[in-house]
Amino acid sequence: MKTDLYTKIILTVIAVALTLNLLKGSITPAMADTKKLVSIPVNPDGSINVNINKVNETMDVNIKSVDRGAFYYIMPIPVKLDK
């Protein structure tokens, strides 16, 4: 009997917590991402013209880390260096 009462109490607490979690999702609206996207012109061959101004020294462009989902929906952009 004691085990049965304990099990019923624990299951009731779990059911109440799950119900509150469900209601919280319907009460609190989801917030959209606030990042602003910018369109840039692309050349007919798919390349992008980039001009770097006001740099008098070598720039360190070593990529240290990238978010796993950063390139999930896009194709990689080929890069050509003019020397």
- For residue 59, the tally of other CB atoms under 10 A from its CB is 6
DSSP assignment, residue 68?
A: T
For 69, half-sphere exposure in the C-beta direction (CA atoms, 13 angstrom radius) is 0
pLDDT band at 17 (very low <50, low <70, confident <90, very high): very high
d(CA 78, CA 65): 19
d(CA 10, CA 20): 15
**pLDDT recorded at residue 67:** 75
**pLDDT recorded at residue 76:** 67
23-64: per-residue pLDDT in tens? 876 676 666 767 777 777 888 887 787 777 777 777 677 777
**pLDDT recorded at residue 25:** 67
